[in-house]
A = this chain, B = another copy of it.
Amino acid sequence: MKSRKSRAERRQDLIEAARRAMVQHGTDTVLLNQVAEQAGLTSGAVLYHYPDLRDLLLEAHHAGMERFYELRVKKIADISDPVRKLVLTIRSGLPTDAEDADVRLLCELGGAAGRNRVYAALLTTLYDRQVSMYQMILEVGAAQGVFTLAADSQTIARNLVALEDAYGYRIVARHPTLHAAEAVELILSYARLVTGNPLEAPEEPARSPRARKPTA
């Protein structure tokens, strides 16, 4: 009846299930049974793989963070133009809408970080990595003469990540007028000022006409 799975597979499933359950019920109000339900198992089975639920939740957060960061890196990996790179990175740091699971999970984490040192460390690491990512883009752009930085790259990078973070919270909290598009513009306003570049994304040479979308 129930498909038995290998240890590794099941643990992967459980991490995903835990992510879903936490987004829905909250990092530290989620119940063992809710995780089990998301995984299509009973609480006993979950406990068999993770005797302590907290370990599972931590791994799930870790995985979520990692995925979030890797996705951003991947999105700009094969782009060379610093302007496009910067604009795209800003976009990729914001939730698409209030339901965005990845960002909601990060917000959950932020709330708990004041009390939970491990969660705090996790978030701090993510922040610093994102800062480095922006710093790299900025430095390269400056070296190419595309950007004229109005402050040192670390300052700018820290502020950019901070802005993303904060607007993520606002969007997830359903600010009535401040959506992803507005947030992008707000951050770009700063980015333009501080890079001395208008940041009008030069269009990507279209590979095939039908692959293009009208301005979303």
Interface size on A, as a range, is 35 or more
A103 nearest CB neighbor, chain B only: B114
Contact with B along A94-124 (1 / 0, CB 8 A): 0000100000100111111111010110011
CB distance from A207 to the nearest CB of B (A): 35
A163 adjacent to chain B (CB < 8 Å): yes
Per assembly, the copies of the chain total 2
A175 nearest CB neighbor, chain B only: B124
A109 nearest CB neighbor, chain B only: B111
Q: Knowing A186-B158, A194-B193 are in contact, say whether A169-B110 is a contact too (CB < 8 A).
A: yes
* Chain A residues engaging chain B, CB cutoff 8 angstroms: 23-29, 98, 104, 107-115, 117, 119-120, 123-124, 127, 150-151, 155, 158-159, 161-163, 165-167, 169-170, 172-176, 178, 185-187, 189-190, 193-194
